[in-house]
Amino acid sequence: MLQPPSPAAAKALQPPSPAAAKALQPPSPAAFRAGIPPQGRRTEPFLGKANHGKIALILIALVTGLSLGFLQPLYGLFVLGSAGLLFGVFRQPVVGLGLMLLLGPVKAFLAAAYPTLPPDWGQAAFILTLGVWLARTAYQRPQVQLRPSAPLLALAGFTVVAALSLTQAQDPAAGLPELLKWIEMAVLALLVLEEARAGRAGWVVAAVLLAGSVQAVIGLWQFGLRGDGPEHFLILGRFFRAYGTFEQPNPFGGYMGLVWPVAAGLSLGLLKQSSFSLSSIISLSSLSSFISLISFLALALSFSRGAWLGAGAAVTTMVLFWPKNRRSGLFLLAGVLLGSWLVIRSGLLPVAVTDRLNEVAEFTQVSDVRGAEITAENFALLERLAHWQAAMELARAHPWLGVGLDNFEVAYSDVHLLNWPRPLGHAHNIYLNVLAETGVLGLMTYVILWGTIFVSTIRALRLNSGWRRGIALGLLGAVAHLTVHHLVDNLYVNNTHLYLGALLGLLLWLGLPQKLLSESRLFSLLAQQDTNRGSGFYNRSRK
C-alpha cells in the first residue's frame, strides 16, 4: 500500500516558482551576443579585485618587454630576472623575505669587491617586501591582530632608551642607522608573524635555512676548495679560515651559530611528527640534518673562538631542554660533556684546534693591559682588552645614558690607552658596548629584552610539539649562542639583524595560543600526501 509523501518531499516535488524558472532559463541569443550574463550569476569587472594579480603581471610584462628592446642582452637578462622577482614578491611576500635573507649578508662582500655598486641589496629587498606587504594588507584589509607580546614590548623598551641616548651623543646622526636596525627587527618580526599566521610558516623556515646553507657552502669552499685567500686567514699551513660574504671569520661564525641550531632542532622535531609517513620524516629530517651539519662545520672552520664558545653554549642548552623530563636532560648533558672531554683529552684533534681551545680561557679573562708587552701572538687579545677598558671608562664618565648609540668610535679618542689609539668601531663585547653607548638604563633594558626572549622560547618549547617544538628548540640554541658569543664580539653587523628579525617572528608565532596557531601549508600538504598514501609513521609502527 502506497503512503502519501511527506510534506518536505511534497515541497521538493513542486514545480519552481515563475521567478526561479526565469532565472534558470538560458540567455537569449541577443543577450548572449550583447555579453549580458545569465541571471543569478555575477561577473567580476576587469579592473576588479580578483583580476589585480593578472593586471600586475600584464604591466610588469609590458614594461619588461619594452625595456628588453632597448637594452643589451646582459642588462636585459637582469631586467627580466628582476621583473620575475617583483611579480613573485607581489604574489607572495614570503618570496621577498627569502630574497632579503639571501642578499642581506652580501653587503660586506659587495662593499669590498665592488665599491662602485650599491652595497646594501638586503635593505633594498627589505623595503620592497615591506612595501608590498603593507600595500596588500591595506588593500585586502585582513584582520591583523597585534596582540601584546612580551618580546616586542621589551624590544620597544630598549629601542626607546637607545633613542634617548642619542641626546647625549657627539654625533647623533651616526646612531640613526643603528637605531633603525632595532626598528627593522621589530617590523620584520611582525611581518613574519602575519605570514606564519596565514599558513606560510613552513616557507619562512625554508627561507631561513636556505639563506644559512648558502653561506655555509661558501665558507666550506673558502676553507678547503678555493686554495687561496687572505694571508692573515691562513690556518693549518695551507687552509684558510671560513668567512663567507662577511669578509671576517668572527661575524661569519656568529651567523652560522644562528643557523645550525634551527636546522638541528627541526630535524629532531620531525622525528616526533606523528602525522607524517616514514618516507617524509626520513627525507625532511635528513635534509635538515645536512643543513645543520654543513652550518656547524662552517662555524668550526671559521676558527672563531667566540663562535666556538657560542656553539658550546648552544649544544649545552639544546641537549638540556630537548627531553621533556628535565632529569633526563641533565643525564644526557652529563654524557655529552663527558664524551667531549674524552675527545679533547685523547689527542685525536689537530694541534691547531687544541691550541685554539686552550686559548679560550685566556680569551675571556679581564686584565689591565696598560704597560703590557705587545707581541705578534698577543696583539689581538690585548687590543680587545684595551677596548674593554675604554668602554668601562666611557661608562664611568656617562653612567645613565652613555655616549649615544653607535658613538663608541666617536668618543673612543677621549679614553683610549696610549698604545691603542685606533678604534675598532665597537668594544668587542656587546654588553660593555651597550653600557658605554646607552648607559645603565640601556644595559638593563637590553638584558631584559634577551631574558624575555629566552623565557618566551622556553614557553614555546612547552606549548608546541612535533616540528614546531623542534623549531622552538633551535631558537633556544640560537639565543644561547648569541648570548655567549656576544661576550667577546658584536654580531649586529652585515644585516644579521634581519635574520634575527625572522627568527623573532617565528618565536612570536610559536607563542600564540594553540587555537590561533595555524598549521603551515607546506607541512600540511606533506601530511595530506602522506594520508593519501597511508597512515602515518607512528600509526603504522603500532600496527
The pLDDT value given to residue 92: 83
The pLDDT value given to residue 543: 41
| Closest listed residue to residue 253, CA positions, set 207, 312, 208, 204 | 312
Mean pLDDT over 147-168 rounds to 94
pLDDT of 514-532, one tens digit each? 655 555 556 655 555 544 5
Question: Does 537 have pLDDT greater than 50?
Answer: no
Q: What DSSP letter does each residue of 198-237 carry, written as one string?
A: IIIHHHHHHHHHHHHHHHHHHHHIIIIIS----GGGEETT
Question: Does 329 have pLDDT greater than 60?
Answer: yes
Question: Does 224 have pLDDT greater than 70?
Answer: yes
* Cα 395 to Cα 416: distance, rounded to the nearest angstrom: 13
Question: Does 218 have pLDDT greater than 90?
Answer: yes
Stated length of the chain: 543
Q: What is the DSSP letter of 197?
A: I
- Poorest-pLDDT segment among 49-53, 336-340, 422-426: 49-53
Residues 87 and 60: beta-carbon distance below 8 Å: yes
The pLDDT value given to residue 61: 55
Question: Does 151 have pLDDT greater than 90?
Answer: yes
Mean pLDDT over 244-272 rounds to 96
Going by DSSP bridges, is the β-strand pair 239-240/234-235 parallel, antiparallel, or unpaired? antiparallel
3-state secondary structure of 240: strand
* Cα 35 to Cα 32: distance, rounded to the nearest angstrom: 5
Question: Does 445 have pLDDT greater than 80?
Answer: yes
Average pLDDT, the chain: 83
The pLDDT value given to residue 350: 76
Cell of 224: 678547503
| 417 pLDDT tier (thresholds 50, 70, 90) | confident
Query: At a CB cut-off of 8 Å and minimum separation 6, what does 42 contact?
Result: none
Beta strands in 271-392, from DSSP E residues, in sequence order: none
| 246 pLDDT tier (thresholds 50, 70, 90) | very high
Mean pLDDT over 178-205 rounds to 94
Residues 106 and 121: beta-carbon distance below 8 Å: yes
Question: Does 536 have pLDDT greater than 80?
Answer: no
Mean pLDDT over 129-152 rounds to 77
What percent of the chain lies above the pLDDT cut of 90? 51
- Poorest-pLDDT segment among 183-187, 222-226, 521-525: 521-525
Mean pLDDT over 419-426 rounds to 88
For the whole model, what pTM was predicted?
A: 0.84
* Cα 322 to Cα 300: distance, rounded to the nearest angstrom: 23
Mean pLDDT over 36-47 rounds to 50
Please name the residue that has the C-alpha cell 612547552: 462
| 363 pLDDT tier (thresholds 50, 70, 90) | low
Q: Where are the domains of the chain?
A: 50-67+82-142, 153-329+357-542
Residues 153 and 456: beta-carbon distance below 8 Å: no
Query: Higher model confidence: residue 237 or residue 194?
Result: 194
pLDDT of 286-302, one tens digit each? 999 999 999 999 999 99
Residues 235 and 211: beta-carbon distance below 8 Å: no
* Cα 195 to Cα 110: distance, rounded to the nearest angstrom: 30
Mean pLDDT over 384-398 rounds to 93
| 104 pLDDT tier (thresholds 50, 70, 90) | very high
C-alpha pair distances (Å), 400 with each of 358, 413, 439: 37, 20, 4
* Cα 199 to Cα 148: distance, rounded to the nearest angstrom: 21
Query: At a CB cut-off of 8 Å and minimum separation 6, what does 367 contact?
Result: 385
Please name the residue that has the C-alpha cell 543569478: 40
Mean pLDDT over 388-398 rounds to 95
| 505 pLDDT tier (thresholds 50, 70, 90) | very high
Q: What is the DSSP letter of 196?
A: I
